[in-house]
Amino acid sequence: MATRNLGHTLVIANPVAHSGKGAHAIELVRRFFEAYSSATKSFDLETTRSMGDAVEIAAQAGGMDTVIALGGDGIIHEVVNGLMAIDQRDRPTLGIIPMGTGNDFARSIGETFNNPEASLRQLLNGAVRTIDLGLVTSDLCPTGPLPGTLGTYFMETLSFGMDAAIAIDTTKRRAAGTSTEGSALFMTSTLKIALAGAAGYPCHVTIDGDTLDLHSVMFAIQNGPTYGGGFHICPDASLTDGLLDICYNTYRPNLPHLMALLVLARFGKHVRSKAVRLLQCRTVAIDFGQATPPCQVDGEELLGSHFEVSVAPQALNVIFPS
């Protein structure tokens, strides 16, 4: 079955991913690599016990050839930040076995998700490509998840305002054991957040040196095209073009219009609305004054009122399905 050798390989796995199905996937992956020694030069598997474990494990993986993240976008995000703490000359290639409810990064690279057998086949038959990452710092979080790091990397999404509040709510609901998944989870959280009020946040934004003032209801900065389990918020975003893509509201739509835009975003059709603008950039600074708006980075909450964002071009090697 093995068609390529992954070299010295470390799997970092979340056993409670995808409502506990991650544990079954871990055993399947363990048995596979033990049975097919030709797939690797060496194989180790580490399981996480709490948030932040994957960052620390990945940061110690210098010299490995491949690090595989098994779990949802949350653990992939942690592994990415751990790998970025390693000098680029020793930084392993990232592979993923996506087992989550959103799986937006898997969608961006075209990998099958919640099917570990298929993911293993794709890893062993895939091709390595170098992707960009986003990097964000805030006034309340000037460092990254590891001591001495200069910010938090994101492989897929960073957003502010109502859509960030929705993403944070979905993360909390998953942690509480909800059985709702994917776009259904996103939409039910959307109803909850929107009905509670979506007044927006005044902010001053600088995009590649150009400034504007907004009353932001939604402001998404994307490395990949989707968030929320497949909502195509920036449908033309690319992981490899050296740019970040932005989607923001140009005026405050009323609640029915806002809900319609979110439904249209499932298919990328919201881009036709005059209430929405999309553009590309390399740097963004966004200041909310005294407010601390909801902010999410790859689904995890990030605190602050002033944020500096930039693209990190050609930052990480990743195995894409062929």
DSSP per-residue string spanning 303-316: --SEEEEEEEEEEE
* For the chain, percent of residues with pLDDT exceeding 90: 74
CB atoms within 10 A of CB 301: 15
How many Cα atoms occupy the beta-carbon half-sphere of 144 within 13 Å?
A: 24
The distance from CA 126 to its chain's CA centroid, rounded to whole angstroms, is 21
Range with the lowest mean pLDDT among 9-18, 251-260, 305-314? 251-260
In CATH, 136-314 is 2.60.200.40 = yes
Q: Where do the domains of the chain lie?
A: 8-125, 136-314
pLDDT(156) > 70: yes
Segment 51-63 shows an average pLDDT of 96
Return the number of other C-beta atoms located less than 10 Å from residue 195's C-beta: 10
- Select the more confidently predicted residue: 171 or 153: 153
Least confident of 26-40, 139-153, 176-190, 195-209: 176-190
Tell me how far apart the alpha carbons of residues 250 and 218 are, in angstroms, rounded to a whole number: 10
| Cα 106–Cα 82–Cα 297 angle in degrees, nearest 5 | 55
CA gap 54, 284 in Å, rounded: 28
Of 72, 145, 136, give the one whose Cα is nearest residue 103. 72
Q: Which pLDDT does position 183 carry in this prediction?
A: 65
Provide the pLDDT for residue 29: 97
Tokens of 139: 């006034």
* 3-state secondary structure (DSSP) of residue 138: strand
Backbone angles phi, psi at 59, to 5 degrees: -65, -20
Average pLDDT, the chain: 92
Q: CA–CA separation, 86 vs 197, rounded Å? A: 43
Query: Can you give the pTM of this predicted structure?
Result: 0.93
Range of lowest pLDDT (41-45, 167-171, 195-199, 223-227): 195-199
Is pLDDT above 50 for 96? yes
Report how far residue 229's alpha carbon sits from residue 218's, in angstroms, rounded to the nearest whole number. Answer: 17
The mean per-residue pLDDT over the stretch 10-36 comes to 93
- 138 Cα distance to chain centroid: 18
Q: Is the pLDDT of residue 1 over 60?
A: no
Per-residue pLDDT of 233-288, as tens digits, reads 999 999 999 999 999 999 888 878 888 888 899 899 999 999 999 999 999 999 99
The residue type at 128 = V
Mean local confidence (pLDDT), 156-169: 87
Read off the pLDDT of each residue in 15-20 and give the average, rounded to a whole number.
Answer: 84
User: pLDDT tens-digit profile of 192-245?
Assistant: 776 655 678 999 999 999 999 999 888 999 999 999 889 999 999 999 999 999
For 301, how many CA atoms within 13 A lie in the half-sphere containing its CB?
14
Q: Residue 158 and residue 173: Cα distance in Å, rounded?
A: 19
Mean pLDDT of 158-162: 91
8-125 sits in which CATH class? alpha beta
Report the candidate in 73, 59, 69, 67 with the shortest Cα–Cα distance to residue 25.
69
The reported pLDDT for the residue numbered 172 is 77
**Beta-bridge partner residues of 9:** 43, 66
**pLDDT grade, residue 70 (50/70/90)?**
very high
**What is the three-class DSSP state of 132?**
strand
